[in-house]
Amino acid sequence: MTQGQTLKGLGFEPGAEIFHNLPRAELYEHAIRNGEARLADAGALVAETGQHTGRSAKDKYTVRDETTENVIWWGDVNQPIAPDVFDKLRKLVFDYLSQKKLYVFDGYAGADPTERMKVRIVNTYAWHNLFAWNMFVRPESAAEWEHFEPEFTVYHAPDLQADAEALGLRSGTFVVINFRERTALIGGTHYAGEIKKTIFSVMNKRLPETGILSMHCSANYGVNRDDVALFFGLSGTGKTTLSADSERVLIGDDEHGWGSNGVFNIEGGCYAKVINLSRQNEPEIWDASHRFGTILENVILDERRNPNFDNVSLTENTRSSYPVTNLPEGRVDLGGVAGHPRNVVFLTADAFGVLPPISKLTTPQAMYHFLSGYTAKVAGTEIGVTEPQATFSTCFGAPFLPLHPARYAELLAEKIEQHKPSIWLVNTGWSGGPYGVGSRMKLAWTRQMVRSALKGQLDGVAYATDPVFGLAVPAEVPDVPNDVLMPRNTWSDPAAYDEQAAKLAAMFVENFRQFADEVSDEVRQAGPNVATS
């Protein structure tokens, strides 16, 4: 509905129309009429983000004041900004928004009614507001909107550039969180992921304060809601793909909380990477990406307005944003709440080609790999990357952690001790050699390995210990060739494997030095054996 200047609690006096909690069809109409997006043949809305096709991590700031000084994990992830600079930015943003036609979404972060946070998203573009509609939990009735008072508000002005020199910023793009004022300002970027990750960062502070583990993971369950599996992983490791399993029910694909009642989805939708997406390999995501309500971000349309997911001329980080209701009936839990996990899976895409495709972890190993958060970049994905590069993102989500990683690790240890899930490390990366020499592990094999683990089919098999990484590797997995399970056996040159394994092991050890004083001897000793390597 259009509310003009009657919307309370906006923070400034609007001078133009406000469109408040519009339904999807009307947001479509506005986005197309405004020239913001195009319509794909099957009904998705297609938008481009211009210069920024991913997050601007170096332009993200947190206000440093008396409430955050001794709480936030300050550094490259959480860059401090002074309150007076925030005040100037807020005036800049509010003055700008007061002259614009605005779209406002009110909803929740968190599917569990006892743990959710009321969020308000203020946009100048209709398609960004549809993104909020997709990604957050919608109120179930109009009555919930009548007396809605947001606990956190995001103001998004994608076309507004700050004066970086005058404000002491890195660039004109800014993503600033003020925890005391429960406000975030985003400017200079059209990339919609900034909106969802800003709220996720807020939840990563809010939930642990009440003993709830906030997690950068996907989640699903099997025959019942007590058969929950978590999939931790960085972008490109298979978090969304592996959780969208035809044999299991999806809870969510990216952000969850684990509290006293079990696991709950923080979001109300999915934000899947769709580079090289195919119906054969990922039918659920394919179908969802061809439905009304979905936003295709930076995806090229062919001459018949069909999405071309193989075209990366704009970016390799092409995305599909859709509500969970766009997934097949019975394949997703619309309530987004389930029991405690029986299995926890850490995903890594090892481009060095030396980690086993699946291994079982002890609790100390789980803490080690959770704090490490390893995956790898491959040659060609970034300028200057000519060989695999190790990436360590603690807790598999460092860019979104306001608190010290030890806090999240402590909570995970408590949950594991209490509920005793099986913990697995799954390598969705390369086998038979590093990137450029070996080949990527077949998705069908990875899916079968994960399914076997979740069904308990690996509980009674024999295990061998990887001599370098100390990981317990199953000797057999149903319907998977035995010779792919121990990576050294897949290399034509074992000596080259040994050299590469030693290289990666040393990187693990060097990276973990930052946590050495925060963990027990048992966890410190759970990493690779550099002497052996």
Residue type, 295: I
Q: In the annotation, is 415 catalytic?
A: no
Residue of 101, 196, 239, 369 marked active site: 239
**Residue 6 has which token pair?**
């009657």
Residue of 138, 216, 290, 407 marked active site: 216
Residue 247 DSSP symbol: T
Q: What φ, ψ does residue 490 adopt, rounded to 5°?
A: -90, -10
Q: In the annotation, is 216 catalytic?
A: yes
d(CA 102, CA 14): 9
Give first-to-last CA distance, the chain, whole Å. 65
Q: In the annotation, is 235 catalytic?
A: yes
Residue of 138, 319, 447, 451 marked active site: 319
d(CA 429, CA 101): 46
Alpha-helical segments (H) within 289-359:
none
Three-state DSSP class for residue 385: coil
Contact in structure between 111 and 266 (CB atoms under 8 Å): yes
Q: What φ, ψ does residue 131 adopt, rounded to 5°?
A: -60, -45
Burial environment of residue 436 by CB neighbours within 10 A (0 to 12, 13 to 18, 19 or more): middle
Q: In the annotation, is 197 catalytic?
A: yes
d(CA 390, CA 500): 12
Token pair 């052996």 is found at 532
Q: What φ, ψ does residue 79 adopt, rounded to 5°?
A: -80, 130
Residue of 98, 235, 315, 325 marked active site: 235
Residue of 59, 112, 245, 254 marked active site: 254
Three-state DSSP class for residue 445: helix
> Residue 375 contacts by C-beta under 8 Å, 6 or more apart in sequence?
233, 234, 236, 237, 347, 348, 349, 350, 391, 393, 429
Q: In the annotation, is 55 catalytic?
A: yes
Residue of 20, 30, 55, 360 marked active site: 55
Residue 372 DSSP symbol: H
Closest CA to 178 of 158, 159, 198, 150: 198
Residue of 197, 273, 340, 451 marked active site: 197
Q: In the annotation, is 319 catalytic?
A: yes
Three-state DSSP class for residue 515: helix
d(CA 231, CA 221): 11
Q: In the annotation, is 254 catalytic?
A: yes
Burial environment of residue 448 by CB neighbours within 10 A (0 to 12, 13 to 18, 19 or more): middle
User: Which residues participate in catalysis according to the annotation?
Assistant: 55, 197, 216, 235, 239-240, 254, 319
